[in-house]
Amino acid sequence: MLRHKFKRWREERRELQGLKQGVESVQKKYAPLLESAEGDYKEVVVGEYIDELNEYAPELQYRQSPNLIRKARRVGILIGQEDENWIELPVNPFSNRRYKSLSELGEVRLRNLILKHHRETVEWWFKVIGGLTGLIGTLIGLVAVWKRL
């Protein structure tokens, strides 16, 4: 069972990395063209760039959202479904079915909330460990004084 989950996770991760590499290759391909293009040619280049990017970006966003949402739920952050953090994307260009995915703004906000929660957790542990260290030091001091008497 665990082996199957790990295998599935590894395959999903490989596919996600492939999508990220696809986006990066499109960006590298069009970066010099976008910088040098002017006038009507620039509009054509931007259109082609967006078309090629749309082959990877929606699928990448669709796959990243559930992982981020899972992390948020694991730390106890509730996510509302009806606000500007969500966008509706088509399942594929030829169907009317749509799915909800986090928008870029929603992803940034959710990542910030998760980071804030982790920081608060680490701060809490530092306070607890600091308090325990002080308590242990005090006990050692009391034992040392008690043995001298």
Distances, alpha carbon 123 to alpha carbons 23, 75, 116, 136, in Å: 37, 15, 11, 20
Q: What is the pLDDT along the chain (149 residues), one digit of tens a residue?
A: 677 888 887 888 888 888 888 888 888 888 888 788 788 887 888 888 888 877 777 777 777 777 788 888 888 887 776 667 776 666 555 656 666 777 777 788 888 989 999 999 999 999 999 999 999 999 999 999 998 87
Q: What is the reported pLDDT for 92?
A: 58
According to DSSP, residue 95 is labeled -
According to DSSP, residue 97 is labeled -
Q: Are 109 and 85 in contact (CB under 8 A)?
A: yes
- The DSSP-derived string for 66-89 is HHHHHHHHHTT----SSSTTEEEE
Q: What is the reported pLDDT for 122?
A: 94
Q: Are 64 and 107 in contact (CB under 8 A)?
A: yes
Domain extent at residue 44 = 2-148
Q: What is the reported pLDDT for 105?
A: 78
Q: Give the separation between CA 67 and CA 117, rounded to whole angstroms.
A: 17
pTM over 0.75: no
Q: How many domains is the chain partitioned into structurally?
A: 1
Q: What is the reported pLDDT for 134?
A: 93
Contacts of 57 (CB under 8 A, 6+ apart): 23
